């Protein structure tokens, strides 16, 4: 039995607003471009690279699928800029976050589960768990900050605290057996 169970709730723009932006087309401002051949879903996330930064676009590929229940033993934050994850193809993600601040405690954690088509953009300084995808080989387009300064801080939780995300809220969709 886990020492602390975090109930993951469905990811919505409103619920996630204190931590960042939800990147999805549902409900987004959009308009046709290229003589009507393309629909542009406009301004889905506010990318923050700070004064001396530049935007990096990368692809992350998950080598090992996450397991259920999802253990939470490490969080990180990016104090100099935002960080966005957008799935390539459909991919359910478990998103664990805590508000910005110099320190983070287990009681500060919130958990969300995506619908498989949503991405997230973490605001500058928002604590978050490293990427957890449930299929090996799943890829994500990542937009974050490059430039001078250390833009990644990590905090480990004592493993004896046994913090997990409630697996019932994630279900079997998109999870490797």
26-68 pLDDT, tens per residue? 999 999 999 999 999 999 999 999 999 999 999 999 998 888 8
Alpha carbons within 13 A on the beta-carbon side of 72 = 31
Q: Averaged over 88-101, what is the pLDDT?
A: 93
pLDDT at 176 over 80: no
What is the pLDDT, as a whole number, of residue 177? 47
For residue 6, give the nearest of 141, 150, 139, 157 by alpha carbon: 157
pTM: 0.89
What is the pLDDT, as a whole number, of residue 168? 66
Is the CB of residue 114 less than 8 Å from the CB of residue 95?
yes
What is the pLDDT, as a whole number, of residue 105? 96
For residue 138, give the nearest of 68, 89, 67 by alpha carbon: 89
Residue 171's pLDDT band (cuts 50, 70, 90):
low
pLDDT at 133 over 90: no
């Amino acid at each position: 039995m886990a020492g602390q169970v975090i109930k993951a709730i469905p990811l919505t723009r409103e619920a996630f607003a204190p931590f960042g932006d939800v990147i999805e087309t549902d409900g987004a401002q959009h308009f046709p471009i290229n003589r009507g051949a393309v629909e542009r879903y406009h301004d889905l996330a506010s990318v923050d690279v700070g004064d001396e930064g530049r935007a990096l676009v990368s692809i992350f590929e998950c080598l090992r699928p996450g397991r259920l229940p999802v253990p939470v033993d490490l969080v990180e934050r990016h104090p100099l800029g935002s960080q966005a994850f957008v799935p390539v193809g459909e991919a359910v993600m478990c998103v664990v976050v805590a508000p910005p601040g110099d320190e983070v405690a287990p009681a500060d954690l919130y958990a969300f589960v995506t619908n498989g088509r949503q991405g997230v953009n973490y605001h500058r300084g928002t604590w978050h768990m490293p990427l957890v995808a449930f299929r090996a080989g799943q890829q994500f387009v990542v937009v974050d900050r490059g430039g001078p300064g250390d833009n990644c801080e990590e905090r480990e939780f004592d493993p004896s605290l046994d913090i997990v995300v409630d697996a019932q809220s994630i279900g079997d969709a998109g999870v490797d057996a």
